[in-house]
Structure 1
């Protein structure tokens, strides 16, 4: 089965899988300019899973396998395998960051449900543990983001067999790597909740009070991780029993939202992780051993 049926007149229509990969790439690229809310990131993860599913079927096309299995193209095929392993590592880093945060969130929620009125010691201690854990998560993500920046150097097309079909295949797969990188960067940045993002729940409340109509019509970009960080910082900063209770209630509400946010992102990552393992294990290794 050929990707393109050769003709001496007009080029034929590309293979449907090629068109599908192209459409999914365009869709993900257009979503880069959209909001960085939790829902938008989950949509990107879902789109990325669909893209890698299409890539998996693209790699199983006979012409794709024949082109990449050629001895002269072995170097780039190995790069594909290395890249797939790197993507799995980054995905694993994000999964670990979410799991670690979720465990701390659930511990905090448990203590808040059990605490008595006026009791602050155990809760404050657990809040500090959470904030310490967040610092560790951010350091891990910072390291992962630096590693992402170091993956841009790729082999040139001169190392490939001098064939336009092969170059087209490699170019498309590089585009997939690039958009995957962008989605992972968005996810890791969201989990890390850099200072440039909104970090005050009170500023959000103020905006909502100023214009409820605008909030209804436009998506308000809320970072649930940053909201909880701000709420917990406020909680340990209040000394009086009344202010502490109000801050604890606000933090409890934010923790519930974050818990749901983490669950959605975990589900999306798990599905994507399984798809990438399938692509690496079934399609890429099969090409290398062709």
Structure 2
């Protein structure tokens, strides 16, 4: 899988020379939310706690964006200064973020459904070892197909990131400062959703992050090393590896595997809630943009 490396420097930093909106306290709040999300882009590993924190951070960010979009002065700037090209660009950007959220939601739902089948086989001893093997192979096949679909989404995501980088390199101040804020929020959200997709699909692809993580650990105390190692656990990866061992008879105990499944189930639930919340906020912001441009 061609892993897209997150580069904090790729985030947009757009400002206009005339910023009548910068005096509003919501602008400072938005910039604080952007900075918090960007500060974790170079984190050494992609863990469930990091991804959940990013989802929470995205909710705060887009709450702030929504409040800004409700301000009459910002609505006026956008309505007056956005030509047809910018209207299409902003609406297309919001739609692309929703598409990525949809990919993540579908992947989480499928993972949960097939994981429940595995749990059912174990609890009921249905089909014995053969039944477990059949469901295990089915689950791993689903994971393989899921990774393939997410790889496609990441390729599209990379193209979008390149487009945003091209946008940030243009020295064009002939647009509302709100456009700059919206595009920067889009870029940061894109990087955060990238972390989510990588966490679900290909944790082993984070080789660069893991190398830096190893260097970091050598600089910490023994206690910190243990804590860091524990926080790096990827619940999807752990279940995949344990299931492979059980199917290949390298391991015969399902007790630990049941615990791994339970941890994965809780992880998926947290991620589903977070993705659903951010999806709703993205939809709300898209509706606000549509209302502004249609009046």
Q: Give the TM interval when normalised to the shorter protein.
A: 0.7 to 0.9
Deviations 1:210-267 (A, max 9, x none): x67742477530111011110011011117xxx42x2x22321211110110000001
Partner of 1:144: 153
Q: CA deviation at 1:156?
A: 5.3
- Report which of the two structures shows the higher radius of gyration computed on alpha carbons: 1
Q: Identify if the C-alpha distance between structure 1 residues 12 and 287 changes in structure 2 by more than 3 Å, giving closer, same or farther.
A: closer
Q: TM-score, normalised by structure 2?
A: 0.80
Question: In 2, are the aligned partners of 1:72 and 1:160 still within 8 Å (CA)?
Answer: no
Question: In 2, are the aligned partners of 1:228 and 1:255 still within 8 Å (CA)?
Answer: yes
Q: Which sits farther off after the overlay, 106-115 or 216-225?
A: 216-225
Distance of 1:27 and 1:260 partners within structure 2: 25
5 Å-filtered alignment, 1:3-82, equals 14-34=23-43, 35-70=45-80, 73-82=83-92
Partner of 1:188: 197
Q: CA deviation at 1:161?
A: 7.6
Distance of 2:167 and 2:232 partners within structure 1: 39
Q: CA deviation at 1:189?
A: 0.2
Give 2:240's match in structure 1, choosing from 217, 226, 229.
Answer: 229
Partner of 1:208: none
Distance of 1:12 and 1:105 partners within structure 2: 49
Partner of 1:89: 99
Q: Identify if the C-alpha distance between structure 1 residues 197 and 174 changes in structure 2 by more than 3 Å, giving closer, same or farther.
A: closer
Q: Give the number of aligned pairs.
A: 262
Higher relative contact order (CA closer than 8 Å, sequence separation 6+) = 2
Question: In 1, are the aligned partners of 2:21 and 2:74 still within 8 Å (CA)?
Answer: no
Q: Identify if the C-alpha distance between structure 1 residues 95 and 83 changes in structure 2 by more than 3 Å, giving closer, same or farther.
A: same
Partner of 1:162: 174
SS in 2 for 1:153: helix
Question: In 2, are the aligned partners of 1:69 and 1:77 still within 8 Å (CA)?
Answer: no
**1:220 aligns to 2:231 (yes or no):** yes
Partner of 2:114: 104
Question: In 1, are the aligned partners of 2:239 and 2:261 still within 8 Å (CA)?
Answer: yes
Partner of 2:4: none
Q: Identify if the C-alpha distance between structure 1 residues 143 and 218 changes in structure 2 by more than 3 Å, giving closer, same or farther.
A: closer
Distance of 2:21 and 2:244 partners within structure 1: 61
Unaligned runs of 5+ in 1: 199-210
Q: CA deviation at 1:59?
A: 1.6
Unaligned runs of 5+ in 2: 1-15, 208-221
Distance of 2:82 and 2:36 partners within structure 1: 33
Distance of 1:94 and 1:143 partners within structure 2: 12
Deviations 1:86-125 (A, max 9, x none): 1111101100000000001111011101117x93100000
Partner of 1:288: 293
Q: CA deviation at 1:63?
A: 2.3
